[in-house]
Structure 1
Amino acid sequence: MSPEERRAAIVRAARPLFLEHGQATSTRLVAEAAGIAEGTVFRAFATKQELVDAVLDAEFDPEVFLEDVRSIDPGLDLRERLVAYTTLLQRRFVGIFALMAALGVPKPPPRFTDAAARRRLAQEGLASLLAQDADRFSLPVDRVVHLVRLLTFSGSHPHISDQRPLSPEEIADVILHGVLRPAGAAPLSEDLTSEGPAS
């Protein structure tokens, strides 16, 4: 196993432990999970913080996400494509939120907030899936992509969504159709629309 492969294997073993135990995770636990000696962890990562940073790097790395996006069938209808994309984006956000919370990281480190990287994610991600439908939107595709990202982010964050996350289907339908009922459609039943007294 090459040094790069060894580091990647340790990161994969460490991620679920950090999610469960946060910063209390010991390198001994990581070594046991990876099936290696504890000293091997420190040959791959000089410090525990270096390992934490590597796990965060892997979580924020867009490559696996973009590879999954590229696997979405462009022949699906628009809503199906949007639901498939939003499912992947929500999974990415939820993973990032959970890991940051477990590690006590209040905001992404600066290296993860690069605007150019976000533009690349947008262009290589949803924008490519929506390009064939550009003439169907009332807004430019890049603006639609921005709205999908904002709604998915806020609708997936446990605090912003008040622990009531939006589903990918809900997000897609709000983006494509808004929240007005089509003319002649039956209203939602009372038990679905009632949320009780406003807080």
Structure 2
Amino acid sequence: MIIKAAIPLIGEYGAAVTTSKVARAAGIGEATIFRVFADKEELLDACVAEALRPDHVMRELGDIPLDQPLADRLTEAFEALQAHMARIGAVVGSLHTSGYRRREGAADGEARGVGREESMARIRAALAELLEPDGDRLRLPAEQVAALFLGMLFTRPRQGDTPELTPRELVDVFLHGASA
């Protein structure tokens, strides 16, 4: 409850968020925060770890119907993953911009049970499951296609003055190449 109340405030105030603001948002007394967390930095680290957790995106990926056409499944997956990255960016970016640096030993998500590598492996496996119904039509194993799909998502270029491609357009290029 404390972390859920703190995350939007961190997006707004960065590391300048006060524990009294977090307590008000959570509907608790400020002292309660310090019964759960040793200090504000531990709370901020826990919020980063929570933002990095893949649980929300895993639920969204798991809810995508496997009987849809592959392009539809991948478009929904792309949108879910984009939202996941935006949630991470809101917390991590705001803290970084406000000058906050995580403490030595505060590993990404590991304090809350999921490290970065495990998180990416779980997401890649969920994507591979979405690809499986069309596995016989893929040039590569579903796991490799899932890794390539994630690579495209994480490295897609910004086009400057030209409009950004929609998720559907990117999926179309991914599935069919750039040739007309």
- Change in Cα spacing, 1:162 to 1:15, as seen in structure 2 (3 Å) is farther
Alignment correspondent of 1:57: 49
Pairing partner for 1:78 from 70, 73, 82: 70
Partner of 2:124: 122
- Residue 137 of structure 1 and its aligned partner are, at CA, apart by 1.5
CA separation of 1:26/1:162 partners in 2, compared to 1, >3 Å: closer, same or farther?
farther
Gaps of 5+ in 2: none
CA root-mean-square deviation: 2.3
- Which residue of 1 is the match for residue 92 of structure 2? 100
Instruction: Establish whether residue 171 from structure 1 lines up as the match of residue 163 from structure 2.
Output: no
Partners of 1:68 and 1:88 within 8 A in 2 = yes
Who is 2:10 aligned against?
Answer: 18
Cα distance in 2, alignment partners of residues 31 and 106 from structure 1: 22
TM-score by length of 2: 0.83
Measured in 1, the distance between the counterparts of 2:33 and 2:17 equals: 13
Asked which structure has the greater CA Rg, the reply is: 1
**In structure 1, distance between residues paired with 2:165 and 2:88:** 17
Displacement of 1:138 after TM fit?
1.7
Distance in 1 separating the partners of 2:164 and 2:101? 20
Task: Decide whether the 8 Å contact of 1:90 with 1:153 is kept in 2.
Answer: no
Q: Which has the higher contact order (CA 8 A, sep 6+)?
A: 2
Structure 1 position 101, deviation (Å): 1.0
Alignment partners' CA distance in 2, 1:92 and 1:138: 28
Contact in 2 for aligned 1:100/1:106 (Cα 8 Å): no
Name the structure 2 match of 1:134: 135
The 2-side partners of 1:137 and 1:127 are apart by: 11
Shift of 1:87: 0.7
Q: Which moved more, 1:67-76 or 1:162-171?
A: 162-171
Instruction: After TM superposition, give the deviation of residue 91 of structure 1 in Å.
Output: 0.6
Q: Give deviations 1:20-75, integer Å, cap 9, x for gaps.
A: 11011010111111111111111121111111111111111112211121111111
Q: 1:166 offset after TM fit, Å?
A: 4.3
In the alignment, structure 1 segments of 5+ residues that lack a partner are 1-8, 182-199
TM-score computed with the length of structure 1 as normaliser: 0.76
The size of the alignment, in residue pairs, is 168
In structure 2, the CA distance between the partners of 1:116 and 1:53, relative to structure 1 (3 Å rule), is same
The secondary structure found in structure 1 opposite 2:140 is coil
